[in-house]
Chains A and B, each alone.
Chain A
Amino acid sequence: MEKFTQHTGVGVPLRRSNVDTDQIIPAVYLKRVTRTGFEDALFAAWRGDPTFVLNQEAYSAGSVLVAGPDFGTGSSREHAVWALKDYGFKVVISARFADIFRGNSGKQGLLAAQASQEDIELIWKILETRPGTEVTVDLEARTITCDDVVVPFQVDDYTRWRLLEGLDDIGLTLQHADEISQFEETREPWRPRTLPAKHLPPVEIQAARPVHVEIQTSR
């Protein structure tokens, strides 16, 4: 993972609350087996709307997303973080993040910076009054600077340390492989194991066949 200390880039005001991960990246884009190349999928349903913020020239090269509260709710799909990163975002700012999204961001080097809703409203005003304004996010000092506004943000100490150092979680954990082995010695013998496999007798499953149904959408 790349080290993250400070980032400056165009701020993008996303005045929506409860932006769930189905909005960040719809399920149809989750069929890929790669970890990159998701930039076209970001906010796919909204990108067709010419008034959508990323379709406006001044914001299109943005790298700091300033969103409403409860960002990243719903599905655990890490593709949401990959899509944001692939598009070019380095930081997402919100008053509240869903837990899984926040965790996924930390693993992937995308900074999920939690600021107060009042401060976000201030930043929104600046970004909307002067589209293209840059925002500086300083992880060392935990501050967001936008024009003459400087506000604090929160990020947990452990995630901050890992981002600053650019550390890989699995490598960190494997330093404690001995302790994991010791723990495994103490596990009760009746705890379940998937192997060797046990199950009810195999039975043949009949394939369901299509029936013709006409869909008439009512109002």
Chain B
Amino acid sequence: MAGTLAEKVWDAHVVRRGTDGVPDLLYIDLHLVHEVTSPQAFEGLRLAGRPVRRPDLTLATEDHNTPTLDIDRPIADTTSRTQIETLRRNAAEFGVRIHSLGDADQGIVHQVGPQLGLTQPGLTVVCGDSHTSTHGAFGALAFGIGTSEVEHVLATQTLPLAPFKTMAITVDGELPSGATSKDIILAIIAKIGTGGGQGYVLEYRGEAIRALSMEARMTVCNMSIEAGARAGMIAPDQTTFDYLKGRPHAPEGADWDAAVEYWKTLRSDDDAQFDVEVVLEASDLEPFVTWGTNPGQGLPLSGSVPVPEEIADANERVAAERAIEYMGLTPGQPLREIKVDTVFIGSCTNGRIEDLRSVAKLVQGKHKADEVRVLVVPASARVRLQAEAEGLDKIFLDFGAEWRNAGCSMCLGMNPDQLAPGERSASTSNRNFEGRQGKGGRTHLVSPLVAAATAIRGTLSSVADLGPDVVAPDGSPLTDLQTV
């Protein structure tokens, strides 16, 4: 029978088929753990006298709470320190591999899995973190879970799951210069809404998706949750295999050949039926930016802050009024005129080496706008090392940016990297909720290129705003940044 990619991966993991409304029991191939959503799960195991069933399918890292400065000193915030020490104790007690702060493999959990080659096509991947959808870029069925489910997976390596519906999102054509994978996903969320994906696994397909690098695909899948979806997936192809080949945990020799043979079957059949199909034309896309307080409140940068009176739906109108007030904006104000205080480049959405390269290419030889602070936070310690090996750190420092250690950082402000009340950011992260980056902070979600252009000009800007003849300092056209 014809099946979608998601259905194929699902069917390959059914331990026990549910009947009469009882959900299927699914096997979990890879369980990623971090300090924030795991302490109560380990405590539950301890109280019930249960072991971790498969420590060899489990990996822990520290990311949400970790400081991005002075990482060789004791963590100043005592509650953060306690939480991290609790994870270290739990990992030791239950035999779970952990990459702690200061370790070269520490970093945001959604970067650590892929860079170690643990995230592979056709796996089921879970983590107590909604951005687990990132791993779907490899053709894995990957989704975020709550702490009770973390405990469930630790104890049983399975999860009872009600079936998902499937949605195909086809992005045809070619992205114009200056637009990126971030703009694709922001445009998708604006189109289907923050609840549009509820109950669905999204599959991204089409020419524009195929053209994306592995890291750019991760950016798209990462924000599936911002459309309300449990997961987002992209069928694996040569780009995927090339990324994985030679990574520490990638299969080797005959195992590699067997794996690739299987991975090549992981695509939706031509006659597979999706519950919903959505089509976007990539050439219509422009750099996107959010103006409001949910990720669906976004517009092309050439637009203006909406006028609530012109919004027909009553709930949306009220939400827009609230958002405009919270964001300190004026209806009708051109988005390009919005001044920012801080530019944050990082997170599991856009903190990878290609993101940092594209920013560096744009800011090389320039200096940031005086009144703007710029934070560059690599997604993992390995990304930081790679950037330093390429000299990107020098470019950022010369530009006037801060070059930090790895972690979630200002994406959610659990560590000291926060916005002050009223402070406005252009952020390459994934959520613009009220107070997300610090109480009273105001967030505009943008791509790394828009973040870089904004850091140069001080107002929300695209690459095109830097002038008609903008080229990278090495003379290469900036059009090749578009796959980022």
Taking a contact as CB atoms under 8 Å apart, the answer to whether B405 and A208 are in contact is: yes
> B23 — which chain A residues lie within 8 A by C-beta?
158
> B294 — which chain A residues lie within 8 A by C-beta?
18, 20, 73
Taking a contact as CB atoms under 8 Å apart, the answer to whether B402 and A211 are in contact is: yes
Taking a contact as CB atoms under 8 Å apart, the answer to whether B412 and A103 are in contact is: no
Name the contact of B155 in the complex, choosing from A174, A188, A198 (C-beta under 8 A). A174
> B331 — which chain A residues lie within 8 A by C-beta?
none
For chain B, residues 370 to 401, give those with C-beta under 8 angstroms from any C-beta of chain A: 371, 373, 381-382, 384-385
Answer yes or no: B351 CB below 8 A from chain A CBs. Answer: no
Answer yes or no: A50 CB below 8 A from chain B CBs. Answer: no
Given contacts A78-B146, A190-B259, contact A69 B248 (CB under 8 A): no
CB distance from A210 to the nearest CB of B (A): 5
Most chain B beta-carbon contacts within 10 A, residue among A30, A68, A70, A99: A99
Taking a contact as CB atoms under 8 Å apart, the answer to whether B15 and A200 are in contact is: no
Q: How distant is the Cα of A78 from the Cα of B145 in the complex, in angstroms? A: 9
Answer yes or no: A61 CB below 8 A from chain B CBs. Answer: no
A interface footprint on B60-98 (CB within 8 Å = 1, 0 otherwise) = 000011001111110001011011001000000000010
Please, which residue of chain B has its CB at the minimum distance from the CB of A96? B195
Taking a contact as CB atoms under 8 Å apart, the answer to whether A192 and B120 are in contact is: yes
Taking a contact as CB atoms under 8 Å apart, the answer to whether A170 and B424 are in contact is: no
> B57 — which chain A residues lie within 8 A by C-beta?
193-194
Taking a contact as CB atoms under 8 Å apart, the answer to whether B97 and A195 are in contact is: yes
Given contacts A100-B145, A173-B152, contact A33 B80 (CB under 8 A): no
Name the contact of A205 in the complex, choosing from B384, B402, B424, B439 (C-beta under 8 A). B384
Q: How distant is the Cα of A15 from the Cα of B322 in the complex, in angstroms? A: 12
For chain B, residues 191 to 221, give those with C-beta under 8 angstroms from any C-beta of chain A: 194-195, 198-199
Taking a contact as CB atoms under 8 Å apart, the answer to whether A33 and B68 are in contact is: no
Please, which residue of chain B has its CB at the minimum distance from the CB of A30? B36
Stretch at the interface among B100-108, B169-177, B354-362, B468-476: B100-108
Taking a contact as CB atoms under 8 Å apart, the answer to whether A99 and B198 are in contact is: yes
Stretch at the interface among A2-10, A83-91, A136-144, A175-183: A175-183
Taking a contact as CB atoms under 8 Å apart, the answer to whether B433 and A195 are in contact is: no
> A28 — which chain B residues lie within 8 A by C-beta?
413-414
Taking a contact as CB atoms under 8 Å apart, the answer to whether B58 and A194 are in contact is: yes
Name the contact of B68 in the complex, choosing from A99, A176, A194, A208 (C-beta under 8 A). A208
> B158 — which chain A residues lie within 8 A by C-beta?
173, 180
> A98 — which chain B residues lie within 8 A by C-beta?
195, 198, 228
Taking a contact as CB atoms under 8 Å apart, the answer to whether B29 and A191 are in contact is: yes
> B50 — which chain A residues lie within 8 A by C-beta?
170
Taking a contact as CB atoms under 8 Å apart, the answer to whether A74 and B130 are in contact is: yes
Please, which residue of chain A has its CB at the minimum distance from the CB of B338? A218
Given contacts A205-B385, A209-B69, contact A100 B319 (CB under 8 A): no
Taking a contact as CB atoms under 8 Å apart, the answer to whether A192 and B146 are in contact is: no
Interface of chain A: mostly helix, strand, loop or mixed: loop
Q: How distant is the Cα of A78 from the Cα of B56 in the complex, in angstroms? A: 25
Name the contact of B37 in the complex, choosing from A78, A96, A177 (C-beta under 8 A). A78
> A107 — which chain B residues lie within 8 A by C-beta?
146, 148-149
> A190 — which chain B residues lie within 8 A by C-beta?
251, 255-256, 258-259
Q: How distant is the Cα of A34 from the Cα of B25 in the complex, in angstroms? A: 28
**Count of A-B contacts judged by CB separation below 8 Å:** 273
Taking a contact as CB atoms under 8 Å apart, the answer to whether A31 and B79 are in contact is: yes
Taking a contact as CB atoms under 8 Å apart, the answer to whether A23 and B433 are in contact is: yes
Please, which residue of chain A has its CB at the minimum distance from the CB of B436? A22
> A156 — which chain B residues lie within 8 A by C-beta?
21, 162
Q: How distant is the Cα of A81 from the Cα of B447 in the complex, in angstroms? A: 32
Taking a contact as CB atoms under 8 Å apart, the answer to whether B55 and A99 are in contact is: no
Given contacts A23-B434, A33-B82, A188-B258, contact A194 B56 (CB under 8 A): yes
CB distance from B51 to the nearest CB of A (A): 12
Taking a contact as CB atoms under 8 Å apart, the answer to whether B384 and A45 are in contact is: no
CB distance from B422 to the nearest CB of A (A): 5
Answer yes or no: B151 CB below 8 A from chain A CBs. Answer: yes
B interface footprint on A45-75 (CB within 8 Å = 1, 0 otherwise) = 1000000000000000000000011100111
CB distance from A96 to the nearest CB of B (A): 5
Taking a contact as CB atoms under 8 Å apart, the answer to whether A176 and B15 are in contact is: yes
Answer yes or no: A27 CB below 8 A from chain B CBs. Answer: yes
> B128 — which chain A residues lie within 8 A by C-beta?
76, 78
Taking a contact as CB atoms under 8 Å apart, the answer to whether B145 and A205 are in contact is: no
> B423 — which chain A residues lie within 8 A by C-beta?
215, 217
Answer yes or no: B10 CB below 8 A from chain A CBs. Answer: no
Taking a contact as CB atoms under 8 Å apart, the answer to whether B43 and A33 are in contact is: yes
Q: How distant is the Cα of A77 from the Cα of B48 in the complex, in angstroms? A: 22
Taking a contact as CB atoms under 8 Å apart, the answer to whether A31 and B83 are in contact is: yes
Taking a contact as CB atoms under 8 Å apart, the answer to whether A169 and B341 are in contact is: no
CB distance from B329 to the nearest CB of A (A): 10
Name the contact of A100 in the complex, choosing from B230, B413, B422 (C-beta under 8 A). B230
CB distance from B127 to the nearest CB of A (A): 9
Taking a contact as CB atoms under 8 Å apart, the answer to whether A75 and B130 are in contact is: yes
Q: How distant is the Cα of A45 from the Cα of B433 in the complex, in angstroms? A: 12
Q: Which 10 A-B pairs have the closest CB atoms?
A: A157-B21, A107-B148, A104-B146, A78-B146, A190-B255, A33-B39, A76-B144, A198-B248, A31-B79, A190-B251
29 pairs from A and B in contact (CB 8 Å cutoff): A18-B319, A27-B412, A27-B436, A28-B414, A30-B36, A31-B65, A31-B77, A70-B194, A77-B36, A78-B37, A78-B128, A81-B146, A104-B146, A158-B160, A170-B155, A174-B155, A176-B16, A180-B25, A180-B53, A191-B120, A192-B29, A192-B250, A199-B248, A205-B381, A208-B70, A209-B69, A213-B373, A213-B402, A215-B342
**What residues make up the interface of A, taking CB atoms closer than 8 Å to B?**
15-18, 20, 22-23, 26-28, 30-35, 45, 68-70, 73-79, 81, 96-100, 103-104, 107-108, 156-158, 161, 169-170, 172-174, 176-177, 179-180, 183-184, 187-195, 197-200, 202-205, 207-211, 213, 215-219
A-B contacts besides A179-B16, A180-B25, 10 pairs, CB < 8 Å: A27-B64, A27-B413, A31-B36, A70-B228, A74-B431, A78-B40, A170-B48, A192-B249, A194-B56, A208-B69
